[in-house]
Structure 1
Amino acid sequence: MIRVNQAGEYGAAQIYKGQLAVMGDDAPDSSAIHHMAEQEQVHLDAFDKMIAERGVRPTLLQPFWKVAGYALGATTAAMGPRAAMACTAAVETEIDAHYKEQLDALESENDPELTRMITEFREEELEHKATAIAAGAEETPGYPALSAAIRLGCRVAIGLSKRI
């Protein structure tokens, strides 16, 4: 769980870096993206710390997630502010399901620190999704296809990070 979550937060941080590199600080949603990026960095820092403390091996795919996350962020931002928010909405939809699955699994474990972190981070990820929807994510031309493709990519990334 820790390896996959760290990889996901790393990827999310890269997505926002890519979006901000294309959009800059003056785009309509830049301040919201900066805020979400800051929260993702807090999540990443927490999982980085837990990886070190618990001796968990990070995914070997991290260099790939760096490039893929940044490219996804830059590409959706280049498509426009709504597409950037559509990316966030799609990613957070999958992260919500992923974190819920983990919380269900943790009910039989005695790991209050990890349970607390996932619960807290899940709430913030749901805020990101709500922000994206409010910013017009679903009004993006081709939203259903774009969202489905990004969500599939997230599921593949989660599956690969569990194994590699």
Structure 2
Amino acid sequence: MAHQRLALQPLRHCQRSLVAHTHPRLLSTTAPRSSSSSSSSSSSSSPNQPPESQTASSQPPPTPKKKKPLTPAQRSFLSSALRVNQAGELAATLIYTAQTPPVVAREPHLRPLMRHMYEQEAGHLRTFEALVARHRVRPTALYPLWSALAAGLGWTTGVMSREAAMACTEAVETEIGGHYNGQIRTLLEMVAGWEAEGYDVGDEFRDLIATLRRIRDEELEHLDHAIEHDAKKAQPHWLLTGIIRAGCRGAIWVSERV
């Protein structure tokens, strides 16, 4: 399947400096000593000479900075980032959808928490679906496979126990949080390089970085919820979280490329 490059062009952002204004100097109000000196002064002045405030010229605004085109490597990175983020958020919504019925059946008090985490993941998914469509990024070809595996993982851990379900969230969010951090670092390096060369970054890139930071923070909030609800008590915790984290890393690697 042909790989579509990301058509992400920074929005035009024109930085304008304030126009400097000059003000008329205060003039002396001392009365003339004689009518002759007054008429002499008056005759020496050119009747067509404009006031000083009108002759002062305003400083023109600086020329807007240019936008630097994305390199093929940068386009490839952004395309793969959006593709894998969309796939990851889809998997997260399916995990919570499958976990919630068995977990809530045993622990009714967890219904608001499970709904809260699901709704945040659903919001993340809508965000990346919009970005993928806007920039014409090809979704991963393994969408059906990841969907089946995510639903199976959610149902299995939900049936096992509340602790196992929370350990699943702990493992997934640990990997996803680190994944988003890596994307943010790469984007910040790109921005720093453009600014050092005197190019304009534009609002679109800054908005994307802000969006990734917000979503990362919400994912790490889910990690905190899982720890608070006894994720570490799942047995065997090290094996369960180790397998899930390895699966997440593998899914990320494949989705970035396929």
TM-score, length-normalised on structure 2? 0.62
Determine helix, strand or coil for the equivalent of 1:57.
Answer: coil
| Partner in structure 2 of residue 2 of structure 1 | 82
How far is 1:30 from its partner? 2.8
How far is 1:42 from its partner? 0.2
| Partner in structure 2 of residue 117 of structure 1 | 211
How far is 1:140 from its partner? 0.8
| Partner in structure 1 of residue 162 of structure 2 | 81
> Equivalent residues in 2 for 1:1-164 (5 A)?
1-24=81-104, 27=107, 28-107=109-188, 108-109=190-191, 110=201, 111-164=205-258
The higher relative CO (CA closer than 8 Å, separation ≥ 6) is in 1
Q: Against the structure 1 CA distance between its residues 10 and 120, is the aligned structure 2 distance closer, same or farther, given a 3 Å change threshold?
A: same
Superposed CA deviations along residues 106-130 of structure 1, whole A, max 9, x for unmatched, are 0114412221111000000010000
Contact 1:25 1:31 (8 Å CA) reproduced: no
Amino acid at match of 1:3: R
Larger radius of gyration: 2
Q: Against the structure 1 CA distance between its residues 112 and 25, is the aligned structure 2 distance closer, same or farther, given a 3 Å change threshold?
A: farther
How far is 1:26 from its partner? 6.2
Count of residues in correspondence between the two structures: 164
| Partner in structure 1 of residue 46 of structure 2 | none
Contact 2:173 2:222 (8 Å CA) reproduced: yes
How far is 1:29 from its partner? 2.5
Determine helix, strand or coil for the equivalent of 1:29.
Answer: helix
In structure 1, C-alpha distance between the alignment counterparts of 2:110 and 2:163, rounded to whole Å: 9
Query: Which has a greater percent of helix?
Result: 1
Determine helix, strand or coil for the equivalent of 2:138.
Answer: coil
Unaligned runs of 5+ in 1: none
Superposed CA deviations along residues 23-65 of structure 1, whole A, max 9, x for unmatched, are 3466242321111000000000000000111111111111111
In structure 2, C-alpha distance between the alignment counterparts of 1:150 and 1:87, rounded to whole Å: 7
Q: Against the structure 1 CA distance between its residues 61 and 148, is the aligned structure 2 distance closer, same or farther, given a 3 Å change threshold?
A: same
Contact 2:104 2:110 (8 Å CA) reproduced: no
In structure 1, C-alpha distance between the alignment counterparts of 2:212 and 2:206, rounded to whole Å: 10
**Aligned alpha-carbon RMSD (Å):** 1.2
